[in-house]
Amino acid sequence: MTLEERIKALIRDVPDFPQKGVIFRDITPLLKEPKVVSEIIDEFEAFARKKGIEVVAAIESRGFIFGMPLCLRLGVPFVPIRKEGKLPWATIKQTYELEYGTATVEMHKDAISRGQRVLVLDDLLATGGTALASAKLVESLGGKVEGIAFVIELTYLGGREKLRGYDVLTLVRY
């Protein structure tokens, strides 16, 4: 069985969550399998090493699950990207469009140094709005987004198209 097949076998489909008509891809069963999680981190590590990554910027909250172990493997800093109002110190913000309204993500204004090679990381690529906003945060501080990585990609939502121009890695596609 390939890694993709093992990951898919561990992802639970939850119909009508968070609203009717949506199939939520739940990674919590996957998290009970440390060997598979370790293999996911292996894939992210190989991608990051090829890119010379100096910082991992992970998106709240499920991106943190994969981001911190990856940082430990690489020996690089971890930068949290959070929803507005969750970080305790001076931040920079990026607002982006949602289907109904807008959302904002933030990062500490001293999180990235000019010229640092950054990997943006999250668990799931859907429409791409959060990932693009996160990449813009990194770039606004002078960081260079060398790649954006996800465990899951929902191809039918077109998020990869929104991230055109970035090197995007996904391990599983629906």
Number of domains in the chain: 1
Position 107 in a domain: yes
* Nearest partner of 102 among 112, 94, 110, judged by Cα: 94
Q: Give per-residue pLDDT as tens, 28-77.
A: 999 999 999 999 999 999 999 999 999 999 999 999 999 999 999 999 99
What pLDDT is stored for residue 8 in this prediction? Answer: 98
Alpha helices in the chain (DSSP H): 3-10, 34-51, 62-74, 129-140, 159-162
What pLDDT is stored for residue 110 in this prediction? Answer: 98
**170 pLDDT higher than 90:** yes
Position 130 in a domain: yes
**100 pLDDT higher than 80:** no
CA dist 129 → 28, 35, 40, 53 (Å): 23, 31, 23, 22
Q: Whole-model pTM?
A: 0.96
Position 45 in a domain: no
Position 14 in a domain: no
Position 74 in a domain: yes
Q: Give per-residue pLDDT as tens, 78-98.
A: 999 999 999 999 999 999 987
Question: Which residues are designated catalytic?
Answer: 62, 99
Position 156 in a domain: yes
What's the CATH code of the domain at 60? 3.40.50.2020
**101 pLDDT higher than 90:** no
What pLDDT is stored for residue 97 in this prediction? Answer: 87
What pLDDT is stored for residue 20 in this prediction? Answer: 93
Position 16 in a domain: no
- Sorted by sequence, the CB contacts under 8 Å of residue 81 that are 6+ apart come out as 57, 58, 59, 60, 63, 105, 106, 107, 120, 134, 137
Does residue 57 sit in helix, strand or coil? strand
What pLDDT is stored for residue 98 in this prediction? Answer: 79
**104 pLDDT higher than 80:** yes
What pLDDT is stored for residue 140 in this prediction? Answer: 98
Task: Please state the φ and ψ torsions of residue 37, each to the nearest 5 degrees.
Answer: -60, -40
Between 160 and 100, the more confident residue is 160
Q: Which domain holds residue 95?
A: 52-173
Position 46 in a domain: no
